[in-house]
Structure 1
C-alpha cells in the first residue's frame, strides 16, 4: 500500500498533501529543502517503507527509516516546522503558511488510523515523496 506525499517547496518551509488511493488524507508541513542537511532540511524525495516506532516519551509513532544520511525521522504532531521540527514530517489539518498549519494532532490521529489499519491487515505501507 502506498501513500503519496505531494510537496510544494518554499523558503520558510515545505508544505504538502498526503494522498491514499487518490483521496487527500491530510496536509503536511516540513522544514525547507536544504540539501538533506541534518536537523535543518526536509528529507529527500523518494520511496520509504513506514514502520512502527515506540518511544518512552511519545509512545508509538510512524517512523521513516533508511533515509540517506539521517536517522530517527518520524511523522509526528507539530504546527510550526521552524520551531517544532528537526527534519520530521508533521500532518496538519489546514495549511496556514509556509511550514505552518493547525490542528496537527487531529491530522496525525487520522493518518495513524489509516496506516495502523493497513498494518493490521499485514500490509507493507510505503510513503512516496514527490515535488
Structure 2
C-alpha cells in the first residue's frame, strides 16, 4: 500500500499534499529544504517504509525508516514547522501559511487509521516523497 507526499518548496517551509492510493488524506507541513541538514531541513525525496511508533510525547504516530543521514524522522502532530518540527513531517487538515497548518491531531488520526489498518494486515506501507511539478496544485 502506498502513500504519496507531493511537496512544494518555499524558503520558509515546505507544503505538501498526502494521498493514499490516489485519494487525498490530508496536507502536510515541513521545514524548508536545506540540504538534508539535521534538525533544520526536510528529508530527501525518495521512498521510505513506515512503521508504528509510540512515545510519551506524541503517543501513537509513524516512523520513516532508513532516512539517509537522519534518525527518528516521524510523522507527528504539529501546526507550525519552524516551532515544532526538527525534520519530521506534520499532517494538517489545511494549510494556514507556509510551514503552518490547522488541526494536526485530527489529520494524524485520519492518516493513522489508514496506515495502521494496513500494517495490521501485515502489509508493507511505504511513503513516496516527491516534488510537485505543477505549481499551484497545493493550496498556499
Give runs of aligned pairs for residues 58-97 of structure 1, distance below 5 A: 58-97=58-97
Question: Which deviates the most, 15-24 or 32-41?
Answer: 15-24
CA deviations 1:72-122 (Å, max 9, x no partner) are 110000000000000000000011111000010100000001100111111
Alignment correspondent of 1:23: 23
Matched, 1:107 2:107: yes
Alignment correspondent of 1:11: 11
Across the aligned residues of Structure 1 and Structure 2, the Cα RMSD in angstroms comes to: 0.8
Question: Secondary structure at the residue paired with 1:83?
Answer: helix
Question: Secondary structure at the residue paired with 1:4?
Answer: strand
**Alpha-carbon separation, structure 1, partners of 2:12 and 2:83:** 11
Task: Mark the CA change 1:80 to 1:57 in structure 2 (over 3 Å): closer, same or farther.
Answer: closer
**Alpha-carbon separation, structure 2, partners of 1:11 and 1:57:** 29
Task: Mark the CA change 1:104 to 1:33 in structure 2 (over 3 Å): closer, same or farther.
Answer: same
Divergent runs of 4+, >6 A: none
Question: Secondary structure at the residue paired with 2:112?
Answer: helix
Q: Where does structure 1 lack aligned partners over 5 or more consecutive residues?
A: none
Alignment correspondent of 2:34: 34
Q: Where does structure 2 lack aligned partners over 5 or more consecutive residues?
A: 132-140
CA displacement at 1:54 relative to structure 2: 2.2
What TM-score does the superposition give when structure 1 sets the normalisation length? Answer: 0.97
CA displacement at 1:56 relative to structure 2: 3.4
CA displacement at 1:31 relative to structure 2: 0.1
